[in-house]
Amino acid sequence: MAKKQTFGDKSKKQGLSDFKVAKLIFSVKSDKSNAWKFVEKNVRIPNGENEQQILTKAIGDHAKH
> What average pLDDT is seen over the chain?
85
Calpha distance 39→24 (Å, rounded): 8
3-state secondary structure of 44: strand
14 vs 26, higher pLDDT: 26
Q: Which pLDDT belongs to residue 34?
A: 92
Is 12's pLDDT higher than 70?
Answer: no
**CB within 8 Å of 10: residues ≥ 6 apart:** none
pLDDT at residue 15 is higher than 90: no
Q: Is the pLDDT of residue 11 over 70?
A: no
- As beta bridge partners, residue 23 has 42
Mean pLDDT value of segment 28-52:
93
